[in-house]
């Protein structure tokens, strides 16, 4: 933690989530905003503008962008079918993966990516390290709910660049009636169709949540199988291996091997050189918004 008296406020951005969201928001109308080389920039432009808008809204003192580094992660080692049901990204999006990270570095934002890990795991690692800071996470991924703590809020993208559905620790506990870390136990039972793991077949979100509300965890449910209905017991016993595997897949790992120094997360100062570089890269709309953040 830094030595200033002000509590740091770290904005943690799920870079790939914003890139995908921005790409599809404009691609549906065929707007790819190609640069002078003919390369689409719509996702990259939207990503950068989204982060700058978030800076204005949340007024952080520090900022980091976390990235997925390829489709294959340690979760694929645990389960070959993990995320295997997802379609290939569109051709217009593929060149924007590297471009987005390059532009993020150009903007001066601190970037984190670790082969074999997901952005969620990097976000979790930074959140764990800076337990005394105020932290705002920006993403569209509900898995991150398990990271909520009194000092952590999650701003889920909802509409445009500036409308969010914000979850605090207090709101989550009030709505779900469980501890945030137990959200992974809920997912262990209900599974996740977008990530390609089944949980316990026949156990839906409502029953999964009721299990954890009453018994606290997967282990708590298994210790109380005699209290469940015969149908519920049968479903769990027939899918026991997948239940345990689903829990491993659902848990965000907060001990990634990354070096994080809060001084490196300080907000950058934009200047004319950056604006010229953005314009030369075909990112005029990003440059125009960056002007508003030059003090």
Full DSSP string of 198-234: --STT--HHHHHHHHHHHSSHHHHHTTGGGS-HHHHH
Whether 152 has a pLDDT exceeding 50, the answer reads yes
Whether 3 has a pLDDT exceeding 90, the answer reads no
Measure CA 193 to chain center.
17
Mean pLDDT to the nearest integer, 33-46: 96
Q: Which residues are registered as beta bridge partners of 139? A: 156
Q: Which residues are registered as beta bridge partners of 166? A: 155
For CA atoms 106, 107, 113, 118, give the dihedral sign: negative
- Binning pLDDT at 50, 70 and 90, where does residue 132 land? very high
For residues 6 and 229, the model is more confident at: 229
Spatial CA neighbour of 187 closest among 88, 130, 125, 120? 120
Whether 295 has a pLDDT exceeding 80, the answer reads no
- Integer CA distances (angstroms), 117 to 111, 127, 128, in order: 14, 16, 16
For CA atoms 142, 76, 20, 44, give the dihedral sign: positive
pLDDT of residue 192: 96
Q: What percent of the chain has pLDDT over 70?
A: 98
Convert the pLDDT of each residue in 107-123 to its tens digit.
999 999 999 999 999 99
Whether 2 has a pLDDT exceeding 60, the answer reads no
Of the ranges 3-7, 201-205, 286-290, which one carries the lowest mean pLDDT score?
3-7
Tokens of 249: 């897949």
- Binning pLDDT at 50, 70 and 90, where does residue 294 land? confident
Tokens of 253: 């790992």
pLDDT of residue 121: 98
Please give the Cα distance from 142 to 12 (Å, whole number): 15
- Binning pLDDT at 50, 70 and 90, where does residue 206 land? very high
pTM for this model (two decimals):
0.95
Residue in the block written with tokens 């764990």: 128
Q: Hey, do 9-174+258-288 and 178-250 end up sharing a CATH topology, with the first three levels equal?
A: no
- Binning pLDDT at 50, 70 and 90, where does residue 4 land? very low
On the 0-12 / 13-18 / 19+ scale of CB atoms within 10 A, 111 is middle
Q: How does the average pLDDT of the chain come out, rounded? A: 95
Mean pLDDT to the nearest integer, 39-49: 97
Mean pLDDT to the nearest integer, 37-47: 97
Mean pLDDT to the nearest integer, 75-87: 93
- Binning pLDDT at 50, 70 and 90, where does residue 70 land? confident
Strand 134-139 vs strand 152-159: parallel, antiparallel, or unpaired?
parallel
> 178-250, what's its fold?
DNA polymerase; domain 1 (1.10.150)
Asked if 137 and 14 count as a contact pair (C-beta separation under 8 A), the reply is: yes
- Binning pLDDT at 50, 70 and 90, where does residue 26 land? very high
Asked if 253 and 92 count as a contact pair (C-beta separation under 8 A), the reply is: no
> CATH homologous superfamily for 9-174+258-288?
5'-nuclease (3.40.50.1010)
Tokens of 151: 């000092």
Tokens of 99: 């471009």
- Binning pLDDT at 50, 70 and 90, where does residue 28 land? confident
Please give the Cα distance from 15 to 21 (Å, whole number): 10
* Count of C-beta atoms within a 10 Å radius of residue 278: 23
Whether 1 has a pLDDT exceeding 80, the answer reads no
Q: What are the domain boundaries of the chain?
A: 9-174+258-288, 178-250
For residues 71 and 291, the model is more confident at: 291
């Amino acid at each position: 933690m830094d030595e200033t008296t002000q509590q740091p406020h770290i904005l943690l951005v799920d870079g790939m989530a914003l890139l995908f969201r921005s790409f599809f928001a404009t691609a549906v109308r065929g707007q790819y905003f190609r640069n002078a080389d003919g390369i689409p920039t719509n996702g990259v432009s939207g990503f950068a503008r989204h982060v700058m808008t978030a800076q204005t809204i949340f007024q952080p003192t520090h900022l980091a962008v976390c990235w997925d580094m390829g489709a294959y992660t340690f979760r694929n080692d645990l389960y070959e079918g993990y995320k295997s049901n997802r379609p290939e990204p569109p051709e217009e999006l593929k060149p924007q993966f590297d471009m987005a990270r390059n532009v993020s570095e150009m903007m001066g934002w601190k970037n984190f990516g670790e082969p074999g890990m997901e952005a969620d795991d990097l976000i979790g690692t930074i959140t764990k390290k800076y337990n005394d800071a105020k932290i705002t996470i920006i993403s569209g991924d509900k898995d991150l709910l398990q990271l909520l703590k009194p000092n952590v809020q999650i701003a889920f993208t909802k509409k445009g660049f500036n409308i969010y559905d914000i979850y605090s620790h207090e709101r989550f506990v009030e709505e779900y009636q469980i501890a945030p870390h137990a959200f992974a136990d809920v997912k262990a039972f209900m599974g996740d169709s977008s990530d390609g793991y089944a949980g316990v077949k026949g156990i839906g979100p409502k029953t999964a949540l009721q299990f954890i509300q009453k018994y606290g965890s997967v282990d708590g449910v298994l210790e109380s199988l005699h209290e469940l209905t015969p149908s519920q017991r049968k479903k769990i016993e027939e899918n026991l291996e997948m239940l345990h595997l689903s829990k491993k897949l659902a848990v965000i790992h907060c001990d990634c091997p990354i070096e994080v120094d809060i001084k490196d997360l300080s907000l950058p100062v934009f200047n004319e050189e950056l604006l010229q570089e953005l314009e030369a890269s075909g990112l005029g709309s990003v440059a125009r918004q960056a002007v508003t953040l030059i003090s």
